[in-house]
Structure 1
Amino acid sequence: MANVLYYAWLAVQAVLALYVLQPLILLLIFGHKRAFRAVGGERKEVAPVEDKPRSFGIVVTAHKNLELIPPLVDSALKQTYPHFVVYVVADACEKTDIGIAHPQVKVLVPATHLNAKIRSIDFAIQQFETEHDVIVILDADNLLHPSYLEVLNGHFAKGHRAVQTNMLAKNTDSAYACLDAAGNYFYNFIDRRMRMELGCSANIWGLGIAMELSLYKSIIYRNFLGGFDKKIQADIVKQIPLLAYAEDAKVYDEKIDSGEAMERQRTRWINAYFKYFAYGWDVFSTGLRRMSPNLIYFGINLLRPPLFMQIGAALLMVVVNFWIDPVFSIVWLAILAQFPITFFAIVAVMSRDKRIIASLVWLPAVFLRQVKAMFQIRKANKSFLQTSNSKRIYIEDVLRQ
């Protein structure tokens, strides 16, 4: 019995070590691939399968106010690609006039309050003026790069059925906004860019996801409070060969600018991790049944605990192993020591913004905020804990920065 418990303990440590070391492993693979290309190797480009213009239905979900909608609609109307319609769902909004009259912009006002992003999207689909080929899902605080849809159309021409686009910071005017942006760069690297490098499906965000309309309609929701992105990716990754990532299709998102906003955001995310934990097991077990490395790897990462929990568990391993096996304590100290260096290196690879890199000295504050958020997750079961956004910035302002 003692041997069984010991080997189980070793297995738990091995899984945790792989999670904590995964960013370093991916960074080393990235460095190897870049060195290979530098000496003459070339990335294989996928030829278009069906090079045709697609009709995009852009769904923007707004709740209670439309203050940030005009800059987003303005960025949509400045697209270099013409085949789209923007559907703004004005849910529970007192004022519904956005001050922009254009045939490609529709403001939809539900008769009753929907109070859920999923319901707002379904409402918009019911109002589509045509059967669009692709649905693009955005939040009210987003902005689109002028080439966004043109680049997206190119990715769908390669045969992809679902594409996550590149979420970048709309604002970096505070330390917390920079830290939020740094987190985006980190996860874009390990969960998207490197997944594509390895030929695996990428994780999605809750915004900037584009997919065939028929594929979205195949998703059946049973819970409408949170977990939007987790439900989508767990369902569609089992239906398509590859959930793609388009790093060159850029969408800008407002970053949080205070510790309190970060706590609310992280509370919501941590609650969603536990609430939808079963999705990870479903994808993982499906991968095992189908003998699919892509689904197995995807499922393993859906099961991955939030970063602060990984680091906290690793610290616990240092302490516990001091009494069980001091050698393992030293190993865990080495694993912990590499992590901040790896995090810094990944952010430096993904961004040249000195403000974002300099903000990394405040990472311990983020860790403490997330620990505090952990003890507030019950609030997320009672309320969506929406993060307020207020940066009314136009796409020209972002591109000039």
Structure 2
Amino acid sequence: MGFSIIITYLLDAIGAFLLLNCIYLLFFALVGHRKLPQLVPTVPIPPRRICVLIPAYKADEVILETAALAIAHQYEGVAHVVVVADGLQPQTLKALRSEGAGVVEVNFERSTKGKALLHALSVLPSNAFDVAVVLDADNIMGQGCLNRINTAFAAGYRVVQAHRTAKNKGTAFALLDACNEEINNHIYRQGPAAIGLSAALIGSGMAFDYGYLRRLLTGIGETVGEDKELDFRIARDQQKIAYLSDMYVYDEKIENAQVFTQQRTRWLASQYEFLKKYAAEGVRQLVRHGNIEFFHKSLQTFLVPRSLLMGILGVFFLLSLVLPFGPSVAFWAGLLVLLAAALGIALPARLYNRQLLAALVRLPYAIWCMCLAMFRINQTKTSFLATPHRAHHPIVPVKN
């Protein structure tokens, strides 16, 4: 077999794989515009006892503001805020307690959110709460969040994901990160929920049956993607994850390239970890148990991250202009159009503005940062790579 034939087959295989990526994104971008069914309570709605857990790793700058706003959040029932303090300063701990927050201190040689949450749940009384809500150290709940979560649990769900959205868009990278968040919400949460599948967890703005969360976290280990691990464990149990598309939790977005690269390194490491761990089990779960949910979660680990996908398609398009074999120029151009259509359809109309056009100029640099992140995945084996936070971001409520 000649060299050119081998290269042609290889390029054809790569093209087919990338085509499937684009079709997946476009499909869920389209179905994500279907209206989600109303959550109808199957039992009366007594206010459940809620524990708001906020893991805070060296987040002294923001945690006081976050905890104070969580404590002040209006809820019809009893809600207790607990900060899981990892590496916080003594004066911060004292201030948190004076605000009325509970504090559980942890100290690990290698910190992870999953281990911190499990330790907190092992220390707190097992029968004191019905629901655990998990926030990041910079998250702020939108008005009525806990009441809506309570309604979802009355509708029979044991796991709920709120709509996490940006509270800052002041820099090009922050806006690109905000757009990425909303596209993820549409494709991985809204889209699957619209066709009866579970929404994907996102790491914060999550709520769980209190006892179920403790069981899910048992043996969580030192994974850098605890939300994805929980996703797979919930799918194995064939429990549905509800998505509250109209209930917002505001989250700080990345404002510079260095932190963007650090965060994406952690995300890529997480995806690679679960690709190796669950790809084969996804097929077994489908064949032996008819578990479409688990298979779908495992399928997502094969998807090329969108920023990298843009770059890869661009490179192959340029190569096709000079290579005499492999898919045609029209094929690669078509994939770029499919990808652009999927992302354009998934992005909310409220984010189409002049600021977005200015931010798109930075997109090639963001793609380059994703490439750098690929070569730094091994850093996650020795470091938590926590995302630093800043306080006092003005929040503009999202208009549907």
Cα deviation for residue 261 of structure 1 reads: 0.9
How much identity, in percent, do the aligned residues show?
A: 25
The answer to whether 1:193 aligns with 2:193 is: no
Range that drifts further, 109-118 or 280-289: 109-118
Q: Is the 8 A contact 1:265 1:387 kept in 2?
A: yes
Instruction: Say which of 219, 241, 247 aligns to 1:243.
Output: 241
Q: Per the alignment, in what secondary structure is the counterpart of residue 156 of structure 1? A: helix
Partner residue, 1:342: 342
Instruction: Say which of 68, 72, 78 aligns to 1:74.
Output: 68
Partner residue, 2:80: 85
Unaligned runs of 5+ in 1: 35-42
Cα deviation for residue 150 of structure 1 reads: 0.5
CA separation in 2, counterparts of 1:399 and 1:45? 22
Q: 1:108 to 1:71 in 2, by over 3 A?
A: same
CA deviations 1:175-223 (Å, max 9, x no partner) are: 1111110100111010001111111111111111111122222233353
Cα deviation for residue 316 of structure 1 reads: 5.7
CA deviations 1:330-378 (Å, max 9, x no partner) are: 2222111332343234224464665346523422221111112212222
Code of the residue aligned with 1:211 in structure 2: it is: F
CA separation in 1, counterparts of 2:159 and 2:237? 10
Instruction: Say which of 209, 213, 227 aligns to 1:212.
Output: 209
Q: TM-score, normalization: structure 2?
A: 0.86
Q: 1:148 to 1:358 in 2, by over 3 A?
A: farther
Partner residue, 1:276: 274
Report matched runs for 1:52-201 at 5 Å.
52-81=46-75, 82-95=77-90, 96-98=93-95, 101=98, 105-110=101-106, 115-129=111-125, 130-201=127-198
Code of the residue aligned with 1:269 in structure 2: it is: W
Range that drifts further, 294-303 or 186-195: 294-303
Cα deviation for residue 160 of structure 1 reads: 1.0
Range that drifts further, 155-164 or 48-57: 48-57
CA separation in 2, counterparts of 1:90 and 1:151? 27
Q: TM-score, normalization: structure 1?
A: 0.86
Q: Per the alignment, in what secondary structure is the counterpart of residue 67 of structure 1? A: helix
CA separation in 2, counterparts of 1:384 and 1:153? 33
Cα deviation for residue 398 of structure 1 reads: 4.2
CA deviations 1:296-353 (Å, max 9, x no partner) are: 22321133232233334434654479443454x4222211133234323422446466
Partner residue, 2:291: 292
CA separation in 2, counterparts of 1:277 and 1:263? 21
CA deviations 1:2-47 (Å, max 9, x no partner) are: 999988875653332121232323333456x47xxxxxxxx65342
Q: Is the 8 A contact 1:135 1:211 kept in 2?
A: yes
Code of the residue aligned with 2:139 in structure 1: it is: N
Range that drifts further, 22-31 or 132-141: 22-31
Q: Is the 8 A contact 2:220 2:226 kept in 1?
A: no
CA separation in 1, counterparts of 2:230 and 2:200? 10
Q: Is the 8 A contact 2:85 2:106 kept in 1?
A: yes
Q: 1:261 to 1:354 in 2, by over 3 A?
A: same
Cα deviation for residue 253 of structure 1 reads: 1.0
Q: Is the 8 A contact 1:176 1:256 kept in 2?
A: yes
Q: Is the 8 A contact 2:158 2:209 kept in 1?
A: yes
CA separation in 2, counterparts of 1:279 and 1:350? 38
Unaligned runs of 5+ in 2: none
CA separation in 1, counterparts of 2:294 and 2:166? 30
Q: 1:4 to 1:244 in 2, by over 3 A?
A: farther
Code of the residue aligned with 1:306 in structure 2: it is: P
Q: 1:360 to 1:60 in 2, by over 3 A?
A: same
Q: Is the 8 A contact 2:62 2:391 kept in 1?
A: yes
Q: 1:181 to 1:221 in 2, by over 3 A?
A: same
Q: Per the alignment, in what secondary structure is the counterpart of residue 276 of structure 1? A: helix
Q: Per the alignment, in what secondary structure is the counterpart of residue 60 of structure 1? A: strand
Q: Per the alignment, in what secondary structure is the counterpart of residue 362 of structure 2? A: helix
Report matched runs for 1:21-40 at 5 Å.
21-30=23-32, 33=34
Partner residue, 2:301: 302
Range that drifts further, 337-346 or 8-17: 8-17
Partner residue, 2:16: 14
Q: Is the 8 A contact 1:63 1:90 kept in 2?
A: yes
Partner residue, 1:228: 226
Q: Is the 8 A contact 1:69 1:98 kept in 2?
A: no
Partner residue, 1:376: 376
Q: 1:313 to 1:361 in 2, by over 3 A?
A: closer
CA separation in 2, counterparts of 1:29 and 1:126? 40
Whose RCO is larger (CA < 8 A, sep 6+)?
2
Q: 1:355 to 1:289 in 2, by over 3 A?
A: farther
CA separation in 2, counterparts of 1:111 and 1:30? 41
